[in-house]
Amino acid sequence: MNLIYNSVETTYKMRKAALLFAALLTGATAWAQVPVPAAKQTKAVAVTGATLHVGNGQVVEKATVAFENGKITYAGPASGFKAAGTAYETINAAGKHIYPGLIQPNSQIGLVEIESVRATLDQQEVGLLNPNVRSVVAYNTDSDIVPTLRNNGVLLAQVTPVGGLISGSSSVVQLDAWNWEDAVVKADGGLHLRWPAMLQSGDTSPAAAQRKQARQQGLQELETLLADASVYKQQAREKENLKLASLTGLFDGSKKLFLHVNYGKEMVEAVRFAQKAGIKNMVIVGGADALVVSDFLKENNIPVIYSGVHALPARAGDDVYLPYKMPGLLHQAGILFCLDYDASLHGTRNLPFIAGTAVAFGLPKEQALASVSYNAAKILGVEDKVGSIEVGKEATLVVSEGDLLDMRTNKVSHAFIQGRQLNLTDKQQYLYQKFNGKYNQGE
CATH number, domain with residue 89: 2.30.40.10
pLDDT, tens digit (0-9, with 9 covering 90-100), for 226-272: 999 998 877 767 788 899 999 999 999 999 999 999 999 999 999 99
Are 311 and 420 members of one domain? no
- Whether 355 maps to a domain, the answer reads yes
Q: Quick check: 368 and 353 in contact, CB under 8 A? A: no
d(CA 322, CA 326): 6
For the chain, how long is the longest CA-to-CA vector? 96
User: What pTM did the predictor assign?
Assistant: 0.89
d(CA 85, CA 68): 13
d(CA 417, CA 300): 35
d(CA 411, CA 432): 16
Q: Which of 23-27, 79-83, 148-152 has the lowest mean pLDDT?
A: 23-27
State the pLDDT at residue 443. Answer: 62
Among candidate residues 340, 368, 386, the one where a domain is terminated: 386
Q: Where are the beta strands (DSSP E) in 309-375?
A: 337-339
Question: Domain of 426?
Answer: 30-101+387-443
Number of structural domains found in the chain? 2
Are 211 and 317 members of one domain? yes
- Whether 382 maps to a domain, the answer reads yes
pLDDT, tens digit (0-9, with 9 covering 90-100), for 196-235: 988 877 777 888 888 889 899 999 999 999 999 998 877 7
d(CA 150, CA 75): 22
Q: Which of 3-7, 32-36, 246-250, 317-321 has the lowest mean pLDDT?
A: 3-7
274 confidence band (pLDDT: 50, 70, 90):
very high
d(CA 113, CA 143): 7
Are 95 and 143 members of one domain? no
Mean of all residue pLDDT scores within the chain? 90
pLDDT, tens digit (0-9, with 9 covering 90-100), for 141-180: 999 999 999 999 999 999 999 999 999 999 999 999 999 9
Answer positive or negative: Cα dihedral of 26, 30, 36, 41: positive
Are 162 and 200 members of one domain? yes
Among candidate residues 386, 413, 430, the one where a domain is terminated: 386
The share of the chain scoring above pLDDT 90, in percent, equals 73
Are 75 and 132 members of one domain? no
CB contact set of 407 (below 8 Å; sequence gap of 6+): 350, 353, 356
- Whether 216 maps to a domain, the answer reads yes
Are 135 and 255 members of one domain? yes
Are 350 and 421 members of one domain? no
- Whether 4 maps to a domain, the answer reads no
- Whether 365 maps to a domain, the answer reads yes
φ, ψ for residue 66, nearest 5 deg: -115, 145
